[in-house]
Structure 1
């Protein structure tokens, strides 16, 4: 750390001597302040803290279980055989090892918490670095330091703090990015809506065609039914007419037979009268 500080001050001295003719512009950023004011980082940090609390509770529960197992063993030790005591002790040791391993996996130097924090901070640090480069070039700064790093700043004028400027640039960049993203999403939405409209049109046309075909089929069926009904009516009328003709003929035949019999009876009656006379 001392070596790093020495190198920084050496760079400052060299810079001051090199740019003494026009004056040296030095600025600094407070990375912790920037991170605290980036909404995405705050939200992600809250989620990570929630995870960490959950992991802590899991570890505490496991440790509590181990302690209870130890107490139970001490209370029951006089009643157990050496073999059972050894088994219980081995079981407790295995569980303790599991808890320690889990604790290291979550909170160790290479644990999930450290790795996720690193992944969380890295994109913002990269963005801050990019903005620092742009501001340094545009504003003609000779040096911009990170106040929250190892460099010890015993005193710094607030006017040299470019943290808020960095935040504004990040916000502007994200606003532009969001605007482009929104335009892209709107474009996708329009394409989707156009596809939906085209699909709906195709479906409507297909539905219309089916409806027209259904109407035509229905009309054809109605015409066929009407034709069949007319044919049945015609056939019925023909049958009725034939029946009436047969009935009329039968009645005429019966009437003719009746007359013939009547005439025959009258004739026979006349013959009988003549024979009596």
Structure 2
């Protein structure tokens, strides 16, 4: 590529030399990077753009750090979570990470905001440089003007450097434009100006807005579906929990009913035997029945007494433990 450029330059020089042999070939060069460094408006806009890019970068780094922290937290809590919860949280983390990467592509991608704004920033300055070079070439009758930043120049004499002239030309043009702008603003106060409509730019902006709206709509739809699925899972878990509680309460009630029925089986047996023996009208059997009823009643009273004794024993043990604790506290306080 470099050899082709040098060959074309050599060919152009030879042709120009043959055509303008009487007066000689005038060649000059400019340094675009040097020119840009000495244009205050470009430097100020570049600083603002770099500040904005750093702000985007810090925002993206903070979000990625938060995602990494969520991954660490999930890794530490995996032993305490079910597989469904682990899968759900991993899906949430992946979704958030994709959103951040899409945002990063939107800001720093090949067609992102940074590239577009750099292009918008460079285009007016490049147009001014090109216009100044064209005007200087026509006025000073230069045959060739090269760009040092884009051409391989093994040696270049300072006397052929036209960068300072281009800077002065752009500065004068900027001052003249500012003066004209002030005059236009004063004139626009008395009349309404009709803005120039750039249909191509409007169409491109409209297409970008539509794509942005579609992307946001898809993201919102996916997020809503995720929230609905999560709410359904929560509802299902709550219903299952309520059902388990109802079954436990039912089983507990059945145990209580069974315990009540087992407390008086012997009393029912006594009543049944008594009703049968009264029909026989035999005195010895009546006395035997009464004796059996007394035994049943004594057995029941014995059980009640044992229960009361156990209860009393538990109360005494509890009281003794409390007294020992109080004594220990008092001894610690006395010390």
TM-score by length of 2: 0.53
Alignment RMSD, CA only?
2.0
Within 5 Å, give how 1:34-45 maps onto structure 2.
34-45=35-46
Answer with 1 or 2: which has the greater Rg.
Answer: 1
- Matching residue of 2:180: 180
The CA deviation at 1:87 is 1.3
In 2, the alpha carbon distance for the partners of 1:146 and 1:113 equals 25
In 2, the alpha carbon distance for the partners of 1:188 and 1:87 equals 61
The 1:56/1:24 distance shift into structure 2, 3 A limit, reads: same
In 2, the alpha carbon distance for the partners of 1:62 and 1:6 equals 52
In 1, the alpha carbon distance for the partners of 2:162 and 2:110 equals 32
* Superimposed CA distance per residue, residues 84-121 of structure 1 (whole angstroms, 9 cap, x where no aligned partner): 11111111211221121111111111111111000001
- Matching residue of 2:295: none
Question: Does 1:165 pair with 2:165?
Answer: yes
- Matching residue of 2:156: 156
- Matching residue of 1:110: 111
Question: Does 1:81 pair with 2:91?
Answer: no
SS of the residue corresponding to residue 28 of structure 2 reads strand
The 1:17/1:86 distance shift into structure 2, 3 A limit, reads: farther
Contact 2:26 2:141 survives alignment (8 Å): yes
* Superimposed CA distance per residue, residues 159-213 of structure 1 (whole angstroms, 9 cap, x where no aligned partner): 1111110111111112222222233445567x69xxxxxxxxxxxxxxxxxxxxx
Contact 2:78 2:86 survives alignment (8 Å): yes
In 2, the alpha carbon distance for the partners of 1:163 and 1:36 equals 11
In 2, the alpha carbon distance for the partners of 1:141 and 1:17 equals 15
TM-score by length of 1: 0.63
SS of the residue corresponding to residue 34 of structure 1 reads helix
* Superimposed CA distance per residue, residues 53-105 of structure 1 (whole angstroms, 9 cap, x where no aligned partner): 11001110111011101101110111111111111111121122112111111
* Superimposed CA distance per residue, residues 10-37 of structure 1 (whole angstroms, 9 cap, x where no aligned partner): 3334334443442211111111111111
SS of the residue corresponding to residue 27 of structure 1 reads strand
Contact 2:13 2:25 survives alignment (8 Å): no
Question: Does 1:144 pair with 2:163?
Answer: no
Structure 1: runs of 5 or more not aligned: 193-277
Structure 2: runs of 5 or more not aligned: 192-335
In 2, the alpha carbon distance for the partners of 1:15 and 1:73 equals 73
In 1, the alpha carbon distance for the partners of 2:144 and 2:26 equals 7
The CA deviation at 1:6 is 4.0
Greater RCO, CA 8 A, separation 6+: 1
SS of the residue corresponding to residue 28 of structure 1 reads strand
In 1, the alpha carbon distance for the partners of 2:160 and 2:125 equals 21
Within 5 Å, give how 1:214-225 maps onto structure 2.
none
The 1:142/1:80 distance shift into structure 2, 3 A limit, reads: same
The CA deviation at 1:144 is 0.8
Contact 2:35 2:163 survives alignment (8 Å): yes
In 1, the alpha carbon distance for the partners of 2:41 and 2:49 equals 12
